[in-house]
Amino acid sequence: MELELAFAGASLNRLDHRRTDHVWLEEQAQKGLYLPLWRGKPLISFDDQGAHLGWVAAEQIAPLRELGATQILLGEAQGQMFFAIDATSLDQPRTRGPLAGAGKMIDARSIAPDLTPGDAAVLAQARSMLQWHHTHPFCARCGAPSELREAGYKRVCTSCSASHFPRTDPVVIMAIHHEGRCLLGRKPMFPPGLFTCLAGFIEPGESIEDAARREALEEAGVRVGEVTYVASQPWPFPSQLMVGLLAEALDDQITVGPDELEDARWFTRDELAKTVAGEHETYRVPPPLAIAHQLMRAWLASLGG
Ligand SMILES: [Zn+2]
């Protein structure tokens, strides 16, 4: 089946082999198109077709570039170069300064479902990269300031010359199943009735399968055997990579861990199908934007018609 994975529709050639060519990069920067993000919110423009990323010409964004705003190369499509630029230093960007009247700054999570997959993927790249620069101004080894290099894909320490690279934090997320039922859990802060797939960060020294089995055991006391990869999804809040799995439980015993979940329960196929369709009177699940929703669909599809 075809999964609809938001943020996973890469449409640009990232040109990583050109990132060290400063002369070429500056030439491109002067004629590039820029996606401004203000406090992590992308500029969005609207037309008859709906919402789009709000691309702005280099001349229009020149005041920001002159202030030394962080900018990164996103990539190229049809000969056009695309960049992202951090517009957070602007005060009231909708009404004042270079972006006045250009569109609206909208929360990435709420606008993503309205964007094309290609636009959402570019947004994920832009948001994760700018967020990384924003939170990593200093060298992790010696504490001195670090500087942006290689079109934004590296920072180098001004004192000890250590190189630092953007992070991607892998997370396992799984539809755990056992004899035709699917395990979902909920945390205390969730809205009433909301259940979702179990998930957790992969720790250093763990395989994807190890992490899936550990998380299932820690969170729900469920022992997992076979683990099957389904799909992955970039999740730019700030920079996770969700690794979507189907995981087969060895039995249906649940022991909810003390710190993690408020509840966990097995959903029958009919219950889950109704819940995913938004038609269950008690339960609900995250929206299609979340890979959890897509994993539930993948599990339902795996049971056949
Ligand atoms: Zn250093």
Ligand 1 centroid to Cα of residue 164, in Å, is 10
Is the pLDDT at 1 greater than 80, yes or no? no
CA of 149 to the centre of ligand 1 (A): 15
Ligand 1 centroid to Cα of residue 20, in Å, is: 21
- 266-283 pLDDT, tens digit each: 999 999 999 999 999 999
**Ligand 1 centre and the CA of 145: distance in Å?**
7
- Residue 117 confidence (pLDDT): 87
Distance of CA 116 to the CA centre of its chain: 15
- pLDDT of residue 305 exceeding 70, the answer is no
Average pLDDT of the segment spanning 173-186: 98
In angstroms, what is the span from residue 203 Cα to ligand 1's centroid? 25
Q: Confidence band (pLDDT; 50, 70, 90) for 46?
A: very high
Report CA(181)–ligand 1 centroid distance (Å).
52
pLDDT at 30: 95
Q: How far is the CA of 286 from the centre of ligand 1 (A)?
A: 42
Cα 240 to ligand 1 centroid, rounded to whole Å: 26
**Mean pLDDT score across all residues of the chain:** 94
pLDDT tens by residue, 61-92: 999 999 999 999 999 999 999 999 999 999 88
Where do we find the tokens 């009433």?
192
Ligand 1 center to residue 280 CA distance, Å?
55
> How confident is residue 211, by pLDDT bands cut at 50, 70 and 90?
very high
Task: State how far the Cα of 189 lies from the Cα of 88, in Å rounded to an integer.
Answer: 30
CA–centroid distance, 146 to ligand 1, in Å, is 7
47-55 own/partner pairs: CB under 8 Å, 24+ apart: 50/114, 51/106, 51/111, 51/114, 51/115, 52/115, 52/116, 52/119, 53/115, 53/119, 53/122, 53/123, 54/102, 54/103, 55/82
Give the per-residue pLDDT at 91: 85
Look at residue 4 and tell me whether its pLDDT is greater than 90.
no
Per-residue confidence band for 102, with pLDDT thresholds at 50, 70 and 90: confident
Give me ligand 1 centre to Cα 160, in Å: 4
Distance 54 CA to ligand 1 centre (A): 36
pLDDT at 98 over 90: no
- Residue 258: pLDDT band (50, 70, 90) is confident
